[in-house]
Amino acid sequence: MKIGDIKRVLILGAGTMGQQIGLQCAMYGYDVVYYDLSQEILDKALRRVAKLGSWYASSGRLTEEDLQQSLARISATPDAEKAAQDVDFISESVPEDPGLKGKVFAQFNKLCPERTIFTTNTSMLVPSMFAAATGRPEKLVALHFHDTRFTNVVDLMPHPGTDPAVTQRVHDFALSIGQIVIVLHRENSGYVFNTMLSSLFTSALTLASRKVAAVEDIDRAWMGVMHTPMGPFGIMDQVGLSTVWTITDYWAKKTGDTQAQANADFLKHYVDKGHMGFKTNRGFYSYPNPAYTESDFLSGGKTGS
């Protein structure tokens, strides 16, 4: 059920996560508007949202009637002023750059009603890094979604300047769209799950960039011992290699860690070739039938891309 004072949700950034978050909100009765830099980007995003919704319907997650009603609640515009009109709640999923996030929020601070709550879906940054730049730091909180196709866990992380009443409203909103809310009591880069996942990524990338073992064998080691359907490099493909590279490169430069920079450079080799992972059908593996799904992958019979 919707909570009464939030009716219209604005999604800043119509990439994969923005698409998923917007549809999730629409499925639970909220009006959703997507904003991005061009109509071309938005048209492509809306097609993908419809495709995702159809997959939900085919898997029994939605009825066909519910799907059509959900899609009818969704609109999109590259006009920032139009996008901000009557918005109660923002979910931001722009690239992992604190300067960019602050700039985008500052733009919408001037356009949105005073009541509008700002949330960021940042994976590894913390909201205090750009809270002041937003113009309404007391109304900013991190609400981080994982892949909504497979999980309904979200991280809720206020910064020291967040109004506790805002944190509570965002908590209630997350519950209203069917999420399990993990509340953080202090800022932590990577929240809870991503902190653990980033350690896995770092270990895997270090092994690969130092040429200790091949990508496929690193994944085989994890899959074989942990009995998971994919290894760390398969997971990176699902997250998106541009996202993993951006985060890795940012922290490498911020800390001056030479191994972290070597890991970022290893990823950049793939990004420069346009091999972004699942979304481009090519990353460490080729899609839609990645080698790690084949029955003989663990025995060494299949390789990645």
Nearby residues of 64 by Cβ (< 8 Å), 6 or more positions away: 57
10 residue type, one letter: L
Residue 95, class by beta-carbon neighbours within 10 Å (0-12 exposed, 13-18 middle, 19+ buried)? Answer: middle
Alpha carbon 156 to its chain's center: 14
| Short-list 17, 27, 169, CA closest to 95 | 17
Radius of gyration of the chain from its Cα atoms, rounded to whole angstroms: 20
CA distance 194 to 145: 11
Residue 236, class by beta-carbon neighbours within 10 Å (0-12 exposed, 13-18 middle, 19+ buried)? Answer: buried
85 residue type, one letter: Q
Taking only the tens place, the pLDDT of each residue in 31-88 is: 999 999 999 999 999 999 999 999 999 999 999 999 999 999 999 999 999 999 999 9
pLDDT per residue, tens digit, the chain (305 aa), is 456 689 999 999 999 999 999 999 999 999 999 999 999 999 999 999 999 999 999 999 999 999 999 999 999 999 999 999 999 999 999 998 999 999 999 999 999 999 999 999 998 899 999 999 999 999 999 999 999 998 999 999 999 999 999 999 999 999 999 999 999 999 999 999 989 999 999 999 999 999 999 999 999 999 999 999 999 999 999 989 998 999 899 889 999 999 999 999 999 999 999 999 998 999 999 999 999 999 999 998 656 55
